[in-house]
Structure 1
């Protein structure tokens, strides 16, 4: 990977095979600016339930999550709302990251793919701020993806939706190039 390529780790909070949030993350990877690499984290379903007793010597799946987050310049999070709450898979992943120093100060684009469902979005935002993430306001938004635009290809080929997704990538890119973001240690810009 070229040294000037900015890395974004996308995390979808749904484990469903036909997840709209996962499709959104894949579409974002396809529509990212040339100097922004978005990869979709595949292992949320592999994480064991959070247990503070295991933090000293976490299982391999947790070590992989933490390493992936540390290596990313920013995160892109899209998660569904279940019964007015954050999905269990997303909350579990965040619980494993709470004590990880690699998460502190991490820029996050938070996307709500179902604007009528705002409880989980609001709760996720509060959780991320409590965990010392930096919410990138310009890259955090609602994108209505219900109806016909629920697959990765549909999102990429829909003018309005594709433009909104490109805006998120561009806003992350601008933030990562801005003086307000110090960048990860050891990286030159």
Structure 2
């Protein structure tokens, strides 16, 4: 397996976020040839199309990270049956960019009660012409578990599900890369 670079975004700005903890755990669990880079969305201003031509440092960093990645990992909580505001805001900033279309996307759900946000996130990614890799989807029961990054890594069932999803995601990315070389 060749080297793969993935950008991971958490839709939660909380310090003790399960969504952030799960992508931090992925960094630890990833094999040496897979680099998981955690992007920051907390400093993005509210989306305003009038500002798209303006230089915004947090946006420049996010778009550069997306450009350099082979795939995108999204973990977002559900608030009021929807995608978290920070995640939706980040995706709104990326919607008109050239680096999102055809980007493979892995979705992670940390709560079995977050089905509305998950479906909304799938719809947004599809609308933005991203490719949700359904075989890589991971749903793990972290809500109210009290697990932090170390607890997630040490939990065989949860870390096994994350590794399996990550491996499937990377296999799909390799297939896409191969197909792009052939075509």
TM > 0.5 fold call: yes
Equivalence map 1:50-89=2 (5 Å): 50-89=47-86
Aligned-pair CA distance for 1:172:
1.4
Aligned position for 1:157:
154
Equivalence map 1:166-185=2 (5 Å): 166-178=163-175, 181-182=176-177
Provide the rounded CA distance (Å) in 2 between the counterparts of 1:47 and 1:108: 21
Aligned position for 2:94:
97
Kept in 1, the 8 Å contact 2:138–2:162? The answer is: no
Kept in 2, the 8 Å contact 1:33–1:169? The answer is: no
Aligned position for 2:103:
106
Provide the rounded CA distance (Å) in 1 between the counterparts of 2:140 and 2:55: 35
Provide the rounded CA distance (Å) in 1 between the counterparts of 2:138 and 2:15: 24
Aligned position for 2:134:
137
Kept in 2, the 8 Å contact 1:78–1:111? The answer is: yes
CA RMSD of aligned residues (A): 1.7
TM-score (norm 1): 0.90
Aligned-pair CA distance for 1:153:
0.5
Equivalent position SS for 2:89 = helix
Provide the rounded CA distance (Å) in 1 between the counterparts of 2:31 and 2:133: 17
Equivalent position SS for 2:142 = coil
Following superposition, which runs of at least 4 residues in structure 1 exceed 4 angstroms of deviation?
none
Unaligned runs of 5+ in 2: none
Equivalent position SS for 1:14 = coil
Kept in 1, the 8 Å contact 2:135–2:165? The answer is: yes
